Amino acid sequence: MNAHSSFDTIALRKTEDLLRDGWCIVPNALPPTIIRALEADLEADFVATPFCWGHFYGERTKRFGSLLRRSARSAALVLNPTILTMVESVLGAACDRIQLNVAQAIEIHPGEAQQFPHRDHDMWQGEKGGHEYLVNVIWPLTPFRRENGATLIYPGSHGSAGMARSDLVEPVAAECEPGSAICILGSTAHGAGANRTDMPRRGIVIGYCLGWLKPYENQWLAYPPPIARTFPRELAELVGYVQHRPNLGNYEGQCPSILLGDDIPARIGAIDALRPDQAAMLADFAAGRRTEP
């Protein structure tokens, strides 16, 4: 079996686990050396960031986003090919393309209480159950243990059947090592555990959502054009520098990727960005209705 077919097999198997159970762990998704180097890049931010306010975020917890401009190594998490294949398999049928929803670092300090169980798709008010809205991927920077606040996941809580349940069963702690990736459906109830140790627990959340949703993190403020110009094309598209057909997220009627070039026209003409079925329908409608110039 070659490396590509092995990768496809892992992505397929883990996608099946994710859809069946509402969550899964992908072991050895990245070398621990990359994770350690990324944590070192973010060390000053962990130290300088103040504690959160509010019962949901946690008042003994630190959070900060915009990770792609804080460390170039963050891209290895966002663009992980196994994860992207899994996410596109889960979300692809409900959108033209996926987008980055959040890239956030989290540090849970000793004494922090258990987080309120929640489903991440509840940030959007659309009808739930027909499809998933997002997939969150938690990358531990330090070992995740039940004692230090490992993410608690509530089995059977995902999908329309899980959401119809009146109560949650005893949660499972997603214990794993740095280099592993904890994948959670947007419909799966979960929450950080209490940190009963004397050391902080650190992790990173990389979230992906349907491309037609408003993302949790304002990507164009996090990564304005001068920063996005340094990204590879796939990464720039994930943070919003591409249209979601039909015509969503445009700049002056064109793909916002025009802002990544060196020569931006002073005046820009709008150009249709339609799905093939829409383009064909409009072409049929327009046929014979316009006079040739």
| pLDDT per residue as tens digits for the range 130-168 | 999 999 999 999 999 999 999 999 999 999 999 999 899
- Tell me the mean pLDDT in the region 28-37: 97
User: Which amino acid makes up residue 260?
Assistant: L
**CB distance 102 to 215 below 8 Å:** yes
| Single pTM value for the model | 0.94
**Residue 287: band (very low, low, confident or very high) from pLDDT cuts 50, 70, 90:** confident
Measured in whole angstroms, the distance separating CA 101 from the mean position of its chain's CA atoms is 5
Backbone angles phi, psi at 106, to 5 degrees: -135, 130
| H/E stretch holding 152 | strand 151-153
CB atoms within 10 A of CB 7: 14
Find all residues with CB under 8 Å of 200, minimum gap 6, and list them: 46, 107, 108, 109, 110, 142
pLDDT of residue 292: 58
On the question of pLDDT at 3 being above 60, the answer is no
Tokens coding 191? 């929450």
**Residue 263: band (very low, low, confident or very high) from pLDDT cuts 50, 70, 90:** confident
| pLDDT per residue as tens digits for the range 94-107 | 999 999 999 999 99
**Residue 8: band (very low, low, confident or very high) from pLDDT cuts 50, 70, 90:** confident
User: What percent helix, strand, coil does the chain show, rounded to 5?
Assistant: 35, 20, 45
The residue that leads in pLDDT, 291 or 231, is 231
Q: Quote the radius of gyration of the chain (alpha carbons, Å).
A: 21
pLDDT of residue 1: 45
Beta bridge partners of 203: 106, 140
Give the three-class secondary structure for 254. Answer: strand
Tokens coding 84? 């992207």
Q: What are the DSSP calls for 176-196, one per residue?
A: B-BTBEEEEETTS-EEEPPB-
Tokens coding 282? 């409009």
> What span, in angstroms and rounded, lies between the C-alpha atoms of 119 and 242?
28
> What span, in angstroms and rounded, lies between the C-alpha atoms of 39 and 32?
11
On the question of pLDDT at 6 being above 80, the answer is no
Give the three-class secondary structure for 253. Answer: coil
> What span, in angstroms and rounded, lies between the C-alpha atoms of 214 and 51?
26
pLDDT of residue 166: 87
